[in-house]
Amino acid sequence: VAMAKSKNHTGHNQIYKNHRNGIKKERRPRKMSMRGMNCRFVRNQAFAKRGMKCTEEEKVERLAAQKEAQKRMEEKKVVERAERLK
């Protein structure tokens, strides 16, 4: 009668085999696939993105308005602090 096997597994050579082609990170897509989505929704989304684009003048106007609003807020804070100290 033959004896039972004593060794069932070894880690010998496994590291070498794993690193032969390099251990790589999983590559994730940058954009979600539109495949399988409702085509009307996808089409509408494209139109919506196109409509959101603005001209350079509009950007400048927006920035100016933001800066103006910030100045007003700072002035308001200064006035409130002065009133609290009185």
Q: What angle do CA 22, 23, 29 make, to 5 degrees?
A: 110
- Cα separation of 51 and 54, whole Å? 8
Q: Name every residue whose Cβ is closer than 8 Å to that of residue 62 and which is 6 or more positions away in sequence.
A: 54
Kindly indicate the confidence band of residue 6, based on its pLDDT and cuts at 50, 70 and 90. Answer: confident
- The pLDDT of residue 26 is 92
The per-residue pLDDT for range 39-64, each reduced to its tens digit, is: 999 999 999 988 888 888 998 999 99
